[in-house]
Amino acid sequence: MRLLRWFVGLLLVAAFAWFNFFIYSGEIFFKLVNVILFSALFVLYRVIIGPSPADRLVAVDILGVLIIGMLAMLGLHYEQGFFMDIGLIWALLSFIASLAFAKILEGRSLDD
């Protein structure tokens, strides 16, 4: 059963890679951004299915770090520096949000 699931996942990833790198004819940076968006689909699966609140929290925290890489590549493609500003601020806000939600999950109050 486990081997079957592994094999189905492998087929899925292989199909995506084949479509993205050989069928789709875009710029190279758009192909790479597509890989990160495909990864973000897995993260969203964990956000929706995740059995406990901590799983969802981990997934959201990781999504923040993924987005920084995606924004850096978008900035490289469009030759614009302000994408990196957005990325840095996104990282900062995501970090603070993770700490705050972790504090709530732990059951502490605001001034503890």
Query: Contact residues for other proteins (CB under 8 A)?
Result: 2-3, 6, 32, 35-36, 38-40, 42-43, 45-46, 52-55, 57-59, 61-62, 65-66, 68-69, 72-73, 75-76, 81, 84-85, 87-88, 91-92, 95, 98-99, 102-103, 105-107
Count of C-beta atoms within a 10 Å radius of residue 81: 8
Nearer to other proteins, 27 or 107 (CB): 107
Nearer to other proteins, 81 or 111 (CB): 81
Residues 99, 40: Cα–Cα separation, whole Å: 21
DSSP track, 46-72: HHHH-SSHHHHHHHHHHHHHHHHHHHH
